[in-house]
Amino acid sequence: MLPPEVQAIIEEMRAERIRGASYLAERGAEAYLKLAHLLDGEELLSALKEMQNEIIMVNPTMASLYNLTRFIPLTDNPEFVKSKAEEFIKLGREAKREIGNIGSELIDENEVIITHSFSSAVLEIFRSAKMKGKHFRVILTESSPDYEGLALARELERLGIPFEIITDAQIGLFAGKATMALVGADNMTQDGAVINKAGTYLLALACHDRGVPFYVAAESFKIHPEIRAEEVEIVERKFKRNHFLIRGYVFDVTPWKYVRGVITEFGVLVPPKEI
């Protein structure tokens, strides 16, 4: 049984609907930090084994959570766990800053960028481009049913970046008005597929049809080291509207052939060979 303080962080992670894989991975690392402060010896080792499953099951689709559990060692030494958890957080933040710097160089003057959902890596690219004095505007979807796009809109408003919000159903219409597409990722598979908020695949198809380059921004810890696209467990969250049951897969799968490049802290990778 995990300590209540650690279980509370995991429950908070399970309840999160807006922030994605980067945020959940960092919160997961913080849960490991808390665990190492509370336990040591055999109790710590036993709890770490339990944590591996608990963290992954927060959202089995997200490679970041799987890779976090691989990064933290199974040990009875709390100081070692603390140092590795702190290292994970540090590397993640550094990766995001580097992605911002690399990705912002892809944005030309007066670019029109279409995006879907709320990616902290994409936001970092926008922030970096704004700091470099570039002029661009963003088309963003509202991203139902959790409306992550509205959270992104608030951030863009705070940064002074011009934007317009569209309904998800208008992705096909507005893709042709953009000069570039940029989305985040919750998982990238060995065969180069991108798993992201449902609707990403539709955006990629629309951009392909209109000749709009489609880029993905993601830290390298979102690359799953073992599985292929067809093996990813896609989380489904059914909900009711009025008295009707509606199926709602949270993510979809975009094949590599629609992706111009994946912006990581190591540079812009071409899937699948460079993944």
Phi, psi of 127 (to 5 degrees): -60, -45
108 is known as an active-site residue: no
Cα–chain-centroid distance for residue 11?
19
Residue of 122, 101, 61, 63 whose CA lies nearest to 266: 101
Q: Decide: 210 and 176 in contact? Cβ < 8 Å.
A: yes
In angstroms, what is the C-alpha Rg of the chain?
19
**Of 186, 191, 209, 252, which residue is the catalytic one?**
186
Residue of 220, 271, 205, 214 whose CA lies nearest to 21: 220
Rounded CA separation 253/193 (Å):
6
Rounded CA separation 175/16 (Å):
29
Residues with active-site annotation: 186
